[in-house]
Amino acid sequence: MSGIGKRLTDAGLALPEPMTPPPGLEFNFELVRISGQYAYLSGHGPYDGTHPLVQGTVGAELSVEQGYAAAGQAALSMLASLQQVLGDLDRVTNWLKADVSVNAVPGFAHTTLVANGFSDLILNLWGPAGRHARSAPGVAALPFNIPVVVDAVVEITG
């Protein structure tokens, strides 16, 4: 088992099925695009395969804590896609940038607290190599009414 795989297990976490388009839709983009020593990750939400794990707007149907948990689930979804493409999460050597869009009510001022659900999980797994630049805008809506979408850039080996 890889180092990151062991840390996931030790934390009691498991990767979901990698995101796939819902029936009747096709992705016309790649979830993970490799270029040189970088992997560019398309937006991932809290999904298990085609199924959203949580839906709703933070500040209305969902609390900050529920949004935080959804951001962690989005991180696991992203890791499932990375695992599928790279074969081993230990190939990720540095997390460089993450954009966490939060589906929130107008005036919601705690998007960074929600986004911490993503960042905390990555930092817990990668340690200092998990520190990344980040933005966390609030948005009026996200696909399928999911509460967060995260895209990222990571540095990889081999």
**Looking at residue 22, what is its pLDDT?**
77
**Looking at residue 7, what is its pLDDT?**
96
Classify domain 3-156 at the CATH class level.
alpha beta
Distances (CA, A) of 124 to 45, 63, 80, 86, 146: 19, 23, 17, 20, 24
Rounded to a whole number of angstroms, the CA Rg of the chain reads: 15
Are the CB atoms for 107 and 71 separated by under 8 Å?
A: no
**Looking at residue 23, what is its pLDDT?**
80
Domain boundaries, the chain: 3-156
**Looking at residue 25, what is its pLDDT?**
80
**Looking at residue 1, what is its pLDDT?**
62
* Tokens 């983009």 -> residue: 29
The 3-class SS string of 45-90 reads CCEECCEECCCCCECCCECHHHHHHHHHHHHHHHHHHHHHHHCCHH
Digit-by-digit pLDDT tens for the chain (158 residues) are 679 999 999 999 999 999 998 788 888 899 999 999 999 999 999 999 999 999 999 999 999 999 999 999 999 999 999 999 999 999 999 999 999 999 999 999 999 999 999 999 999 999 999 999 999 999 999 999 999 999 999 999 98
**Looking at residue 120, what is its pLDDT?**
98
**Looking at residue 2, what is its pLDDT?**
76
